[in-house]
């Protein structure tokens, strides 16, 4: 179980290699990229900032909770900070398990809880020269006591 905050590019293939084991019958990953639009505005870049003393501990706690909830063998997650361009990988989650079902459920649990609980903030810079901080505090997509409260609630983040 490994969670990381980084200002370097994420290398999914290397992370995947670290997770794989002969015990694993299934592997699932999630990649979140910087998209080019949000709420009708053309996005040029994003700035992610984090609370560095707290974010890694919370991320690690989410991974441990996933292991306790699901029959998984391993899990890792990485979240970028810094200035990212459209198309860059911002967050990566990988999970291994004996069977595919647990990898799907645990991956969803991890990404939803990272979005909901991690002290990471996102500022969007738009083509028109404006910018705004994106507020995820109202996100009801995950609850640490449940798998997912409402998956549709996460579709706008």
- Condensed to tens digits (0 to 9), the pLDDT of residues 39-81 reads 999 999 999 999 999 999 999 999 999 999 999 999 999 999 9
Contact 31, 81 (CB under 8 A): no
Total number of domains constituting the chain: 1
Look at the pTM and tell me if it is higher than 0.85: yes
Joined together, the tokens standing for residue 62 give 């989410």
pLDDT at 142 > cutoff 80: no
Sorting pLDDT into bands at 50, 70 and 90, what band is 139?
A: low
Per-residue pLDDT at 135: 78
Give residue 118's domain range: 2-154
Q: Report the sign of the C-alpha dihedral through residues 57, 60, 66, 69, in that order.
A: negative
> Residue 150: which CATH number?
3.90.1170.40
Residue scoring higher pLDDT (153 or 96): 96
């Amino acid at each position: 179980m490994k969670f990381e905050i980084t200002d370097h590019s994420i290398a999914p293939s290397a992370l995947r290699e670290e997770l794989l084991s002969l015990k694993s019958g299934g592997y699932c990953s999630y990649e979140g990229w910087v998209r080019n639009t949000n709420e009708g505005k053309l996005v040029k870049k994003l700035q992610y900032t984090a609370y560095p003393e707290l974010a890694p501990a919370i991320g690690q706690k989410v991974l441990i909770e996933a292991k306790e909830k699901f029959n998984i063998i391993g899990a890792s997650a990485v979240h970028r900070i810094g200035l990212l361009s459209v198309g860059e990988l911002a967050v990566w989650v990988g999970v291994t398990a004996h069977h595919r079902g647990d990898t799907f459920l645990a991956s969803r649990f991890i990404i939803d809880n990272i979005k909901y609980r991690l002290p990471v903030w996102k500022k969007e810079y738009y083509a028109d020269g404006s910018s705004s901080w994106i507020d995820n505090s109202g996100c009801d997509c995950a609850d640490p006591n449940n798998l997912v409260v409402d998956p549709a609630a996460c579709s706008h983040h």
